[in-house]
Chain A
Amino acid sequence: MATGEPDSPAQEGMALSQEEDRLCPADTGGDKLSTGLEELPAPQSNGPMRSVDGQEEPSDKDLSDSASTDTALEDSSEFGRPLMVGACETGAAAVPPTRRDEDVTAASWRARRKHIFVLSEAGKPIYSRYGNEEALSSTMGVMMALVSFIQSGDNAIRSIYSDDRKLVFVQQGPLVLVSVSRTLQSEQQLRQELLYVYYQILSMLTQVSITRIFERKKNYDLRRLLAGSEKILDRLINLVESDPSFLLGAVRCLPLPASLREALGALLQKAITPNLVFSILVARSQLVTAVQERAVIEECRLEPTDLHLLLNLIGASSAFQAGEIWTPICLPRFNPDGYFYAYISYLDAECTVCLVLLSTDKESFYAVSDCKKRVEEAMRTQGSLQALSGGLQSPSYGVGQVGVPDLRHFLYKPLDIPENYRQLPQFTSPELEGPYCSEEEQHRLFDLYHYLHSRIHSTSRPLRLIYHVAEKETLLAWVTSKFELYTCFSPLVTKAGAINVLTKLLRWIKREEDRLFIRYPPKYSTTPNPGKGTKGGRPDNAENGFFAGL
């Protein structure tokens, strides 16, 4: 995996690239890097080629986190539901036209930044980000024809480049996913995005089920099973574009005093029942703490992707905000074929703090629900719910707190996590502010981050440090054995200046470390006889029964 270990010993050198392409028409100082930062080895014009294993995608990317507000995701839309005969929903406000009602022949449809399509091998539409799948069936038919034409020559279509667009194709089992994009993302990043969409579908249906369904009926209409879930995919795609969690393959934690986080972790550690495997506490889609079953993570750790998909699924629907929810869910990176049973309940009236308990036992609802009661009670006596929601009122933190002038935003992902903790990859970043308040500007910034990320993780010519002068800002990306860092400065900053203040930023992060990250992930043992090969921790193999009636 190229992106996973940016620091194999074979590549001590560092490539410093001057970015002078069409992305950044602005000034390009040709001067060599001179800096007082000792960690920086002498710059080289050409970094040593990395050994890479071809087309492997950066396999662990992710996290869903609704830091950015998403107006299009109101829960009131009703697409996906069959039209009721003569329904006159006068009381309920008329459903606003959703993206799904978009006219697919309109120029505005074609002008969309990024389309995502999912279709079956038989060419049947399954999902389209914009416009209704039905209206797009001929378009999807053409796509499938393209895919199969190339397949017939024992080849696979991967991408098509046009002047201003990239078309990327991914085939996974009986599903074909297509992205048509005008963004600056690399083909690899677009491919990764499509995989997220695929994994999200698996999280609802599992791989075996999908395979089995299409084995039995090649032209099955998978929308039957995904009806009502389009919003989950819509939201995922928006998040992937705007939330660095996915790009970095890491989880963003809610900044909290370490003592509070540890107390909450300890509390979850105590509220257990057999077959409970993950206890996750989130606040506003940001991770507070996650406790993992010891025996289970010995075999397989909780992947950020799985956590992102889970949180996206929960965040996409207000259906979780009433009652206690018990629903099957697949964590596809953990096991694409098995179901966990998720207990989901918000702990506060405002529905900001959410407890998610995953069990491998379908029938354990009452026992798991009891765990929640214990958590709730302990939180009440400790007053930790107030402490937690107190921390939620203010935005997580602003870049101003760092005290580095000209620094507008950054993404920092530590890489030096001791392996024995089985830690989730994490990252931190301040709230977006200043010039990046509008969606358009945010997209622009993330396009830049995506671009830098693709250069850093390029399979053919990876870079370790990039100084990039863009139109309205200056960016610096830097990866070492200890961290991966992307910073965004005002355009006035010089290269030497930017590099200079990085030390200050790194020092600030070091100081805040305990607040920004989960340092010691808590664990518990719930299986009767823990140890290797335990069966208790495995998810239930998919026999959800929904394909029985085909």
Chain B
Amino acid sequence: MKKPDGKVVLLGDMNVGKTSLLHRYMERRFQDTVSTVGGAFYLKQWGPYNISIWDTAGREQFHGLGSMYCRGAAAVILTYDVNNLQSLIELEDRFLALTDTASSDCIFAIVGNKVDLTNEYALLLETEDENTREKPVTSCISTKVQKQVHLDDAVALYKKILKYKMLDEKDVPAAEKMCFETSAKTGYKVDYLFETVFDMVVPIILQQQAEGPSQTVDITSYKSAKRTKSGCCA
């Protein structure tokens, strides 16, 4: 079977826009989504590599599965909603521990989505129209809201993650580089996010391949395959 070469996992609370981000990137459009069930697997050709992407469900019902989807991951994209502080807090409280099963050299990206809803969005566009794919939706402007989570908060979380992972800031990509603000709706910085992450994943793939098969996604999964418990059949 053709095995994927590296794994990227999207984590974050329900409704923050993980599926929308991935959909925007893969399908080039923003479409109404439904809440994800379990995890959805996608393959993305990136140069000579097949990168697997797991879009996980943020619902609490599926919480326990996170560590399974993260097993051996080369990158984890922690997603929150810039208009919902709780969604950032959840990343630390609920999702960070799930990444324990990720690869030891896993990279972390922190993504604040739905910036199009904030009153800072127009400002952002002025300074960076390079990456913008669509004009901002003007009808939205009157209802713009004050952003709840700022980039500094994400940077602070990134540093906490490094601490949690006992990583040295010098050995990993800089926080400023790994904290993103996006809009799946307008496409703002979505490609930039995924392309940055994929580019960083490639060296990890090479590393994993050099270390032999024990590090690859598939073999890791076989190790625990025997652990089937006997359930009671009524």
**Interface residues, chain A, with chain B CB atoms under 8 Å away:** 75-76, 80-82, 84-88, 90-93, 204-205, 224-229, 274-275, 299-300, 313, 317-320, 322-328, 334-338, 342, 360-367, 369-370, 373, 535-536, 538-541, 543-546, 548-549
Contact = CB atoms under 8 A, between A and B. Distances in A.
Nearest to B42: A323
Given A539-B231, A540-B228, A323 B117 contact: no
Contacts of A373: 1
B24 interface: no
Contact of A91 (B30, B42, B60, B234): B30
A364 B221 contact: yes
Interface of B: 1, 3-4, 14-15, 19, 23, 30, 32-42, 55, 57, 59-65, 67-68, 71, 81, 83-84, 94, 114, 117, 137, 139-140, 143-146, 148, 185, 217-218, 221-222, 224-225, 228-234
A365 B221 contact: yes
Nearest to B16: A84
Given A84-B81, A85-B83, A224-B60, A319 B228 contact: no
A337 B19 CA distance: 30
Given A84-B84, A87-B83, A320-B37, A225 B228 contact: no
A540 B42 CA distance: 25
B39 A327 contact: yes
Contacts of A362: 68, 224
A86 B23 contact: no
Nearest to B226: A361
Contacts of B60: 224-225, 227, 546
A88 B14 contact: no
B200 to A, nearest CB: 23
Nearest to A324: B41
A549 B63 contact: yes
Nearest to A226: B61
Given A205-B61, A544-B64, A363 B221 contact: yes
* Binding site secondary structure of chain A: loop
Contact of A366 (B59, B137, B218, B230): B218
A327 B38 contact: yes
B218 A538 contact: no
Contacts of A363: 68, 71, 221-222, 224-225
Nearest to B3: A366
Nearest to B118: A86
Contacts of A75: 32, 34
Contacts of A205: 61
A335 B232 contact: yes
Contacts of B65: 327-328, 544-545
B182 to A, nearest CB: 15
A361 B83 CA distance: 39
A538 B62 contact: no
Contact of B225 (A226, A324, A326, A364): A364
A349 B4 CA distance: 23
A118 to B, nearest CB: 15
Nearest to A364: B225
A545 B64 contact: yes
A323 B35 contact: no
B61 A229 contact: yes
B28 to A, nearest CB: 14
Contacts of B64: 543-546, 548
A75 B34 CA distance: 7
A517 B128 CA distance: 62
Q: Which of B32, B33, B94 has the most CB of A within 10 A?
A: B32
Given A91-B185, A322-B40, 6 more contacts: A84-B114, A93-B32, A228-B61, A363-B68, A363-B224, A366-B218
Contact of B228 (A93, A337, A369, A535): A535
Contacts of A338: 231-232
A364 B39 CA distance: 14
16 contacts: A81-B15, A85-B148, A205-B61, A225-B59, A227-B60, A228-B59, A319-B36, A324-B41, A326-B41, A335-B232, A366-B221, A367-B221, A535-B228, A540-B229, A544-B63, A544-B64
A15 B129 CA distance: 81
Nearest to B218: A366
A55 to B, nearest CB: 19
Contacts of B137: 90-91
B145 A228 contact: no
B202 to A, nearest CB: 21
Contacts of A92: 32
B229 A323 contact: no
Contacts of B36: 319
A327 B62 contact: yes
Contacts of A228: 14, 35, 59, 61
A327 B81 CA distance: 25
A369 B230 contact: no
A85 B33 CA distance: 19
A540 B67 CA distance: 16
Contact of B39 (A229, A318, A326): A326
B117 A88 contact: yes
A230 to B, nearest CB: 10
A509 B41 CA distance: 43
A329 to B, nearest CB: 8
Contacts of A86: 83, 117, 143, 145-146
CB-CB nearest 7 A-B residue pairs: A327-B38, A545-B64, A86-B145, A323-B40, A338-B231, A544-B64, A228-B35
B1 A317 contact: no
Nearest to A527: B228
A325 B37 contact: yes
Contacts of B63: 544-546, 549
A226 B60 CA distance: 8
Contacts of A322: 23, 40, 42
Contacts of A275: 225, 228
Contacts of B218: 366
B61 A81 contact: no
Contacts of A342: 38
Contacts of A318: 34
B213 to A, nearest CB: 13
A98 to B, nearest CB: 13
Nearest to B33: A319
B143 A538 contact: no
A502 B69 CA distance: 56
Nearest to A318: B34
A452 B32 CA distance: 43
Nearest to A336: B234
A300 B230 CA distance: 14
Contacts of A326: 38-41
Contact of A225 (B30, B61, B144, B232): B61
A531 to B, nearest CB: 14
